[in-house]
Amino acid sequence: PGGYGNAAEMIADPAALDTAAADHVARMSPWYGDDPVLAMYGTDHSAPLPWLTTAVAALDGGIPVRLATLAEYLSLFDPAATDGLPEWQGELRSHAHANILPGVLSNRPHLKRALSRAERMVERYAEPLAALWAPAGAWPARLLEMAWQRLIQSSCHDSVTGCGVDETAVQVDARIAEAEQIGRGVRDRALAGLTGRAPTGGAVVVNPSPWARTPVVRLDLVTPADPGPVAVRLPDGTDVATQEITGLRSGPLYLATRPAGEVANGLRKGSLGLHFLDREVQRVEVTGTRTLTVTMGRSGAGFTAGDKELADGIEQAGGDWEIRVLEEPRRTVYAAVPAPALGWTAVRAVSGAPSVIGPVRVGERHLDSPLLRVEVATDGTLTLESADGTRAAGVGRLVDGSDVGDLYNYAPGPDGVFSDVPDEVTVHMRDGGPLVASLEIHRRYPWADVTTLVELRTGEPFCRLEIAFENRHPDHRVRLHVPLARPAGHSYAEGQFAVVERGRTSEGGSGEVPLPTFPAYSFVDAGGVAVLLDQVSEYELMDGELAVTLLRATGLISRADHPYRAVPAGPIIATPQAQCLGPVRTSLAVMPHAGDWAAAGVDRAAEAYRCAPVVIEG
């Protein structure tokens, strides 16, 4: 009660500390009963007071006051003595006795996206994969410490919440980027030893999840030189189908004509003056009359002694020689590769065209798989129907409205006008299956042109959405609406420690309008529909639908005349960068399902969506 600085005013005047302490106890006694009353004197923009110890020691009679830490206060109680104590279920989130300032969840969304990505890199990739695969005696303790320091520094008061000046947000963004970069380095070092486990020209697919998965991965592999279809061969000899992303690449990287003597001297020196940053020489051969062919690839032995022996023959032949530098035949493909829990699978490309189990298909305005069907309506929204018949229509409606709030709290504009109908809608096919199928939807609104990539992958019971637009306007909020499959009065969202059940309202009372917007970490579920998240997001359970905030653009730290808050929450300082003008991009997925979130496996679906496998080229 009273917030984390509920005793800040109590110690404002050392001479009046005795009286102020008595007043504080009187206000808090209904909450504490006969227990010692906790008075939190630290608050925003404050530091330890040098005179406080002396002032407390000088108190004479009246209310006994003791300086202590939180740990010391909690040690006064027996945690096992719970008889007769009231019990509450839930997260104790309420506006009734202190401000929540929930608008910090939706401002500067790029910071939330960056921190979610960095946390995932350190928590789900760097640390566990280093524990499994880093060389013995090479635990990256200092690097992990540096990454965690930056994550913690970015999570402190008024940091990733974005409710400070623009310069602070820039520094927070930099610390987050460093944490992710360090984490990626730890991950890559740990997995470097697996490179040798991959066949030459193949790849290793690493599964970061604690259960077996068969994810669709993007692979760049050396393939047979013929233009026929290719498959991916697993270690047990099984071939799995692929979907081609780029065709066969084996054309010349370089063509030149040079005198025989120059070519011969270049071979003797182990160089022909060729420099390709990401390729190495694999073989050198004479392939025709006065034609020297050099094949290059991702790995190779370079020029060898045998290549130098060619020099004499070239010099004796004389004349001009054509030098042809070719790339080893490669293709980029999708493949569904099974990988064990926290394990890896080595793969290589072979000729073949095995059938696809559970293929996905695309039409002009629909995507289809054995697990989910997606249809695009004329307004650009989606109808999703799962294999069990659960159906959600109108998914992906975008609603834009003015926001006259600040970085701490949202507030709708006085006009009450919202824009949710596009002026123009076009649909284009992108990926054609059978492993990945996608459509690109373009919607033109008065406030932006929005592109939505809608994607189905084989084996996934959810539809992936990537929404992108150029934000050209200040002071507004954009939300994505997802209608429910059935009525619901409660939502379930993964938080820091558990999946939290919430109703449709929020308890008010402490000077701010109790908006029923809540945080979700990896998913939010209600009424037979789950929204899988790539970043910490703000959502609201409305009448028959979920609304997820994509953007909240505002230009003040705190507003004095806030319609949804009684008093300022901070300094009145302009924050033009918090208007987030420029590109905005959000990724999420939608999963209709029968039963509740646990029975439907929403938590595992969120894991599959958020934690992509790592591909290491051999």
Q: State pLDDT tens for residues 381-420.
A: 999 999 999 999 999 999 999 999 999 999 999 888 899 9
- Inter-residue contact 468 to 454 (CB < 8 Å): no
CATH of domain 198-247+331-351: 2.60.40
Residue 316: is its pLDDT beyond 70?
A: yes
pTM of structure = 0.91
Angle, CA 383 vertex, CA 380 and CA 388 arms, to 5°: 165
- Inter-residue contact 507 to 86 (CB < 8 Å): no
When pLDDT is cut at 50, 70 and 90, the band that residue 4 belongs to is: confident
CA distance 40 to 28: 12
The residue assigned the tokens 């040798």 is 196
Q: Cα-flanking dihedrals φ and ψ of residue 565, to 5°?
A: -150, 140
Helix intervals (H) in 33-140: 52-57, 70-74, 109-120, 127-133
Q: What is the mean pLDDT of residues 131-156?
A: 95
When pLDDT is cut at 50, 70 and 90, the band that residue 300 belongs to is: confident
CA distance 461 to 609: 10
Could you tell me which of 446, 203, 210 has the C-alpha nearest to residue 334?
203
Long-range contacts of 429-432 (CB under 8 A, 24+ apart): 429/362, 429/364, 430/455, 431/243, 431/362, 431/455, 432/362
Structure tokens at 104: 């910090």
Q: Cα-flanking dihedrals φ and ψ of residue 481, to 5°?
A: -105, 135
Q: Is 361 exposed, middle or buried (0-12, 13-18, 19+ CB in 10 A)?
A: middle
CA distance 248 to 328: 10
- Inter-residue contact 530 to 597 (CB < 8 Å): yes
> What is the structure's pLDDT at 578?
98
In sequence order, the 6+-apart residues with CB closer than 8 A to the CB of 600 are: 530, 591, 593, 594
Q: What is the mean pLDDT of residues 76-91?
A: 87
Residue 157: is its pLDDT beyond 90?
A: no
CA distance 498 to 512: 27
CA distance 325 to 274: 9
> What is the structure's pLDDT at 433?
95
Which DSSP state fits 403?
B
- Inter-residue contact 484 to 537 (CB < 8 Å): no
CA distance 545 to 488: 9
CA distance 289 to 280: 25
When pLDDT is cut at 50, 70 and 90, the band that residue 252 belongs to is: confident
Lowest mean pLDDT among 65-69, 241-245, 476-480: 65-69
Ramachandran sector of residue 241 (left: φ over 0; alpha: ψ -120 to 50; beta: rest) = beta
pLDDT > 70: percent of the chain: 99
H or E stretch including 311? helix 305-317
What is the DSSP track for 468-519?
EEEE--SSEEEEEEEE-SS--S-EEEE-SSSEEEE-S-----SSB----EEE
> What is the structure's pLDDT at 618?
80
Residue 277: is its pLDDT beyond 70?
A: no
CATH 2.70.98.30 fits 361-613, yes or no: yes
CA distance 19 to 551: 48
Angle, CA 243 vertex, CA 238 and CA 247 arms, to 5°: 115
- Inter-residue contact 373 to 365 (CB < 8 Å): no
Ramachandran sector of residue 17 (left: φ over 0; alpha: ψ -120 to 50; beta: rest) = alpha
- Inter-residue contact 494 to 523 (CB < 8 Å): yes
pLDDT tens, position by position, 484-496: 999 999 999 999 8
CA distance 615 to 207: 9
When pLDDT is cut at 50, 70 and 90, the band that residue 172 belongs to is: very high
- 97 three-class SS: coil
Q: What is the mean pLDDT of residues 602-618?
A: 96
Q: Report the largest interatomic distance among the alpha carbons of the chain, rounded to a whole angstrom.
A: 111
Q: What is the mean pLDDT of residues 30-42?
A: 90
Summary mean pLDDT of the chain:
93
According to DSSP, the residues that pair with 501 across neighbouring strands are: 492
Which DSSP state fits 356?
P
Q: Edge-to-edge, what's the strand order for the sheet holding 418-419?
A: 418-419, 397-402, 476-483, 545-553, 537-541, 517-520
Which DSSP state fits 293?
E
Q: What is the mean pLDDT of residues 20-32?
A: 91
In sequence order, the 6+-apart residues with CB closer than 8 A to the CB of 273 are: 266
- Inter-residue contact 604 to 210 (CB < 8 Å): no
In sequence order, the 6+-apart residues with CB closer than 8 A to the CB of 556 are: 406, 407, 572, 573, 574, 575
- 521 three-class SS: coil
The residue assigned the tokens 């910490």 is 536
Domain spans in the chain, listed from the N-terminal domain onward: 9-87, 105-194, 198-247+331-351, 251-328, 361-613
User: How crowded is residue 340: how many other Cβ atoms within 10 Å of its Cβ?
Assistant: 12
Residue 8: is its pLDDT beyond 90?
A: no
> What is the structure's pLDDT at 592?
99
- Inter-residue contact 604 to 483 (CB < 8 Å): no
When pLDDT is cut at 50, 70 and 90, the band that residue 558 belongs to is: very high
CATH of domain 105-194: 1.20.1270.50
> How large is the angle between the packed helices 260-268 and 305-317, nearest 10 degrees?
160
